[in-house]
Structure 1
């Protein structure tokens, strides 16, 4: 009986009321995995709410695991982005804990777009996933496998925290 009560208390803590995006002044920190062709790595970022439905932020990705045959220079592995999101959680109104956000970014490698989703289990902790792609690459020539890192379809998944 004590174990059942403990499980019920823990579940209620994870299912407590939370809000995925609260508008102006909202701050999010996220960290997770970046997955793309020929590389996988770490994704870290910060978003700041400027209005009811939009935020700006910064995002950095570093490719840790690069496949054989791909050059391993730091400049090819690292990317830094400034981003803009349209937070549509209150528009689609699925749940107060859920947010969906399309956005655009300008990075060291390209001009890109992304579609992200996040779900908060508590007021401070949730999970996120983002799908991104390059819309305009700065280098329009044929890209080597090393130059394709961060210039292709990417998936980011991880944890997100309210600050």
Structure 2
């Protein structure tokens, strides 16, 4: 039950921050700004039922492509409910390339849909997601990825990331 309360508290905090950003900033920014675009993002992630956090950086190449890197770490408890430090087994570092549909689909400037491959220390994946910007600086994102197979996984818990869906949601900051 403690985990449920923690998750509910995190969801309430996320909703409150989202509401604050919506009400405090005007709605006129671009979700993807081509080669001028640089973003950092931070959010909640769930990989195969395990909760965690992801942080990343993305840089635009042109009006359609961007590249970036992200780091994901998941929470771990052993069978007795004790936290155990297995940082490497439950962390992943990857690079990616995204194709953005904002120009092609003539989407509103503050909304973007993207898709692209990810190569990480644990898996080869494909992701798709959406972004919505509230202003020139702040926005939100949601992403789904499927981890197809292992890459250079070394460790005692080899099945944490491969062949699992990952869901992410969080905040973006344009820099």
> TM-score interval w.r.t. the shorter chain?
0.7 to 0.9
Residues 36-63 of structure 1 deviation map (CA, whole Å, 9 limit, x = unaligned): 2242111000000111110000010011
TM-score between the two structures when normalised by the length of structure 2 = 0.76
The alignment's C-alpha RMSD in Å is: 2.4
Alignment partner, residue 101 of structure 2? 88
Alignment partner, residue 149 of structure 1? 160
- Does structure 1 residue 73 correspond to structure 2 residue 104? no
TM-score between the two structures when normalised by the length of structure 1 = 0.82
**Whole-angstrom CA distance in 2 between matches of 1:76 and 1:11:** 37
Alignment of 1:13-162 (within 5 A): 14-64=25-75, 66-69=76-79, 73-138=86-151, 146-151=157-162, 152-162=164-174
Higher strand proportion: 1
For structure 1, which runs of at least 5 residues remain unmatched after alignment? 1-9
Residues 72-98 of structure 1 deviation map (CA, whole Å, 9 limit, x = unaligned): 522211100010000111222231100
**Whole-angstrom CA distance in 2 between matches of 1:47 and 1:11:** 23
**Whole-angstrom CA distance in 2 between matches of 1:52 and 1:30:** 20
